[in-house]
Each structure stands twice: as C-alpha cells, then as structure tokens.
Structure 1
Amino acid sequence: MASAMTQVGSTRVYEKGLAGAPGSVDLIKSIETFNVRPRWLFVRVETEKGIVGWGEATLEGHSEAVIGAYADFRERFIGWNSADIEDIYQTAYRHRFYRGGEVLMSALSGLDIALWDIKGKTLGVPIWEVLGGKVRERAQVYGWIGGDRPSDVLEQAKARKEQGFTAVKMNAVESLGWLDSPHALDATVKRLEEVKSIGIDVGLDFHGRVHKTLAKQLARKLEPHQPLFIEEPLLPGHVEELKKLYAQTTIPIALGERLFTRQDVRPYFEAGCIDVIQPDISHAGGISETRRIANMAETYDIGFAPHCPLGPIAFAASLQIAFSTPNFLICEMSWKMHYNKGDYDLFTYMTNPEVFQVRDGMIDLLTGPGLGIELNEKLIRAQAEESKDFNWRNPTWRGVDGGIREW
C-alpha cells in the first residue's frame, strides 16, 4: 500500500499509516461500537477482505465517553492496514498529544483487541500463537461470590465449587467511613473463615473502600486466615502508603484495575509494594499494552492476574495472554456474576460457550483462530438497538452522616 505523504519541515507525515509488504495489506473498512446489556461495549472492525475482528472497550459507567472516542478512531484509522497493530497503537496513543486515562485507553483497548483478532483469523491461528506460543495448557480462573454488599457467601461458595472453581473472590467489606468501628471488620474475618472451610481459596477485594486508617487493622485481622490475596487495599495513587502497609503484612497484595499503562504501574513496581498486578484488558490498552505490563511485572518478580468482571471478548483476550505469559497466576471470570442481570451473562452473545468450561478450576487452551470465540452478531446488533438509551451506572453510597463513601 502506498501511503499518502506530505513533508512538514524535516518530518514526513503519513496520512494512512505505513506501506505494507505485498500480500500483507488488508485495509480497515469499518469500525463499529455496540453498547449491550448488562454493561458491555463491544467493538467490531471489518477489513476490505471481509475479515471481522471483535474487541471490548467496556468502561463501566462511562460508555458514552468511550463511544465518543471512536469518532476520532474512525476518522483516523479507516483505510489503514489492519496488520499494522503496533503502528496503529502508537498513533492512537500519541497522535492527539494528550495520552492515557481511562476513556482513551479503554477505546484503544477495544480497537487493539479487534485487530489482534483479525491478525489471528488472517493467519488461521489463535492469538497466543502470534504472541510467541503457549507456555501452559490450561489457565486458572476464579468466580465471584457475595455481590457488592457481601452476604450468603458460604452457600454461594459451595455453588462455585460445584461449578468447578477452586478459587473465588468477594468484596471484603461493605461501605466504610474514613475511620469506622474496628468491629465493622469482624464480619469480614467470619466470611473468610466460612468460605475457606469448604476447601476453596479466597481473594478479598477491598475495592478501594478502606482507607489506610482501617486497612492496616483489617490486614492484621486477616493474616492468620491466609486469603489468596487482598486486592486494592488502598486507592490508586497512594504508593508510599501502600509501601508501608506492604511492610506490615505477609498477605499478597494485588491491584491494577485502575492503572492503564506501563507508566501507571511503574511507581508500584519500583516501590516493591505489590505482589500481583491486575490490569484490565478493556482499560489497559488491549492485548498490546496488557502484555507489555505483564512482561514488565516479570522483571520485578510480580505475578500477573488479569482483572476481568466483563464480557466474553475481554475474557477471551485475557486468556490469550494467560496462555502465553510465564508469570500468569489466575484470571477473573464474570460467569454468573452479580452484575450480569436478567438474561445477560458471559455466554449470552456466544455461539461456542463450551470453550469456557471450567474444570478443576481451570479453562483449557483456546485453539480457535483469533480470540477463539464465536459471537452471535445478529443478537448483538438487536440488543444494542434495544438498549440504545441504556447506560449502566454504579450506585452512589453515602454514610449515616450523608457523606460520600467509596463504592
């Protein structure tokens, strides 16, 4: 492909990306977004040769903002060679001067995943093959129990065990004040004990709800009961505070769903204050940047556990990295999660849900081309049309004094 080029001083400006090798060019024909229930944003990219790639750009509660970013992507990338994933990534990330942030990175994530799906389908191989090949045959996953306000966790944990899971995650606490009664933490310990009593591992998500005043107390109470990890014990940005908490506990500390680039995770890696990094592939630049974050984490002996309470496209993309990344630990799975209301769940838009079957806590290697999943496009289009005025919103929590609390 010969790109249109102009000269600006000593800089060459390409309007349609780089020229491709003979036979490698398949131009992007269309970029579409579909806002579907329960709270997912799917991205469909089609090439001139008719190859369709799917991505997921879900940013919970902010779909309209992400959809708006795609107006720019369509203006910029329709007509580009779909094979040039890295060039498209770098252009999308750098070309408008302002970089990063949850909205732009989520939009870029959906586009990037779709392009990798196209790459795999074009070559007739799963994405993990293009990423260097597999390093494992199965990937461990965990399911959710307890909901936003954790309750009935023992019965839910038993159900998860019956479904094949060997590990679950639950919110550690309900809403808490900046300084709350220490007794507010007792229920957390009790729930952890109950779930572990049936022989299943438990990750505890603090969800940024606990401020440092109580976080150190809660970590100490949990220490004898050995949770699999504690997630987001403090809000993002508190690197020095997290470093102090890290020194006070032997429980593995995980975070990363609200960090979107290597630049964002770098201070935590250099401070040595986490054990597990949890980028969300729908927020952290898709397969390209998420893989780079995972590789960077390996340098610091930090495990990689993708955050993924989202749809089947994000989950499949996360697994493609899991199968090809040495320091992968475990992946979140949203099947029967509390956000998936009504008839809308992880398998709703899939025609081959069997590829996500959980056995002994794990999912077998995805072997289909691209992402390895097949989607019901007719249903996606119909649901997006039906839900065109729907936008998911998280609740706003207030304490007894009327003040805002972290959700």
Structure 2
Amino acid sequence: MNLLIDSALYTQGAFGDSFGFLLEHGLIEVKQYLKSYKVVFVGEVITPYHHFIALPKNFEDHTQENISLTINLLKTFRGLKRKEKLLIENKSFETGKEIESEFYYWKKLYGFFMDYITYEFYYPRQKLFIHSSRPKLGRVNPMLTDINRGRYGNGITYQIKDFATNEIRDVYYTVLKSLQEKYASTTESRKIAEMEEFLKRKGIAFKQIAYDDKQVITTLRTTQFNPVYELVIKTLLAYIENSSIQVKNKINVFYSKAFEYVYQYMLQAVLDSSTGLKPINWTEPSYKTLHPDLIHTRFIGDAKYYNLKDYLRKPFEKELYAYNVANHNAQINLVMIPSEQNAYLSTLTHSPFNLEVITISLQDIYNDFITGKKDCLAFIDSVIHKRTDNIR
C-alpha cells in the first residue's frame, strides 16, 4: 500500500507505472513539469501496479487509524450530493474501457436482497406436505392431518416450503456479504441483519462458500431460471465476470474540492449549525450577501480545508472583517481547519475585530457525526472561554 497526502507534492517516481493513469484522471496535477506533482484527492485508487490511499490534508501519521478514517469517510458519505451531483468519484476501468464499479453492484445486490424479488429467490414458492410427530416450520393442514393419521399414525401434516440446496443462492449471499463489508453503511448492515433474521425464522440457512468464477459463470449462462429472478441473475453474472478481470483500475475518491464540502457538511452537523438562521442583529453589507459556513448561538465560523503551512498567507477579509461588521462584533469568529488534533493556532486582528484560527481533529468530527457526541463543540467552547477571559 502506498500512502499519500492530499495536496502534498511528490516526484513522478512516487507513482511508478501508475503515473499516467493518475494524471489522466485528474488525481494528480503538474506543479513543476518533470519535477513535482500535487495529489488532489482523498480516498483509494487501485491500479495493476499500486494500491494508493490518500489521507486528508494536514495528516502526517501513516497509522492504521488514519487509513481506517479515510475508508470510513468514503463509505459514510458516498451518497452525499451537492447541486444534485454525487461528490464521490467511484469508477472501475478495464484496459481501454470503463466498467461498472463494485459500489454499483453493491447497491444493486443490496436492493435485491431487501426486495420481494430476492425474498422469493430465498423463500421459494414450491410447497411440500410433511406428516410428522415433531413440530415443523410451516402451516398446519387440518384436512390432510385427519387423512394422514389414518395412513401414517399420530402426528400433524404441515405444509412447508422446499428449501433445496441451491449453490447459486449461496454464491449470491457470499457476494452480498463480501460487498457489504466494503461498502455498507451502518443502517444498511442493520437492515440486512433484520432480513436475515426474518428469513432464518422461515427456515432459510445462509451459507458463505468458496466458488470458482469460471464454473459459476458457466452455470449462470446455461441454466434456466425463473424469469422473476432474471435481473438478479444478470447482475450477479456481470459482477463475477467483472471481478474475474485481472488488469483493472479502480477509483474510489473525493477530489479535493469535493472533500472540502464533505468536511463542511460534517462540521455543520456536529456543531448544531443553522446556516439559514443568522443572528437577529445581523446586517448584510450593501455590496454582497454573506453566507457563513457555521452559525451557532455562541460563534460564527467558516470551515476551511486549507494546508496549515499556508493559512497565514490567506487574507481572511470576509471572516475577520465582513462577518464581524455584519454581526456588530457580537460573537467570536472562528476559522476551523481539519487536522489530526484539536489546537488553537492564532488570533488574527483588525482592530477592533478578532478572528480565532483553530484546527479540529477530523477523527473527532467523524466520531461525533456517527455517535452524536459533542467533543468538538466542547473543544470550541474551551477556546471561546479562554479567548473571552483574555479579552477581559
């Protein structure tokens, strides 16, 4: 695995034989021809030669925790849109052409599993009648019970469904669980577990198996299936055929510009921000309408996906001056830059106005987003209290 950092500069040699693919798809940009190239994505790229993981800006530690955070961000926000367009870029390529990504097949196969079509795929219509002295999963048939007691002795006749061993059903389930591990959200995993429990109560035995791609492809192509399952079978066949392609490239990333919005979206959620509800005393300037990223009862703020080494070069005219004027200097103004840890950086001053620049732990933001905790808000409160005490 090759670890990169979003916006960091590397020589061409860092990308090896994958260099052309990364450059062609805008995953790196030329900064100085033949000398340095800038990474412009957060996420995962797989080529026949390399497996790249690009961590967010300002990350330095190549730890498993940071890798897991990056993968979790891809999974959690893969459906996030801006202006009706998905922010994530998820594609797969065979030599010379684009093919459907694993994520595409995950959404299809997950949808089937939660749908009546695949319910029937697992829970067949064929019925059997069994006369037994032991309880069975099924419906009691009173008329046949009376008849069969005369034939077979004491017992009850049950109408049950025929759950014959079905290898293709096991292949489908195996593929589903494999893709679930890679792409399922917490909610999707919960729904699958609920459906599994429901079907188990009906007598279904789930089984993950090792299968041979070529053998399964031949079976799927040559076997006649009930037409109601045709879409399930075609999707499963296409997935296994694509999976068997050896030379393949995969892109599962947020480009840098898109990740900026992912970061902003998370912060707005965990800091209880209401961007549409400005303070009562807010006065818009005559030359434009201001749109702070974060509006809270105790502060106004912007989420800035900046490099820490560059932040002092930024003018911050809007955050330092315009926001304070519009808000009559009534609340503390903050600029929040993502990093590996929470930290106070500096106070920028344009008398009588101040702007507090801080870093916020991206791991803490994500944890708060998932768990509903308020660790990030607690850190910001501590900054506000300290700065307020200093002003006094």
TM-score of the superposed pair, with normalisation by structure 2 = 0.22
Instruction: Using CA pairs under 8 Å that are at least 6 residues apart, name the structure with larger relative contact order, 1 or 2.
Output: 1
Higher helix share: 2
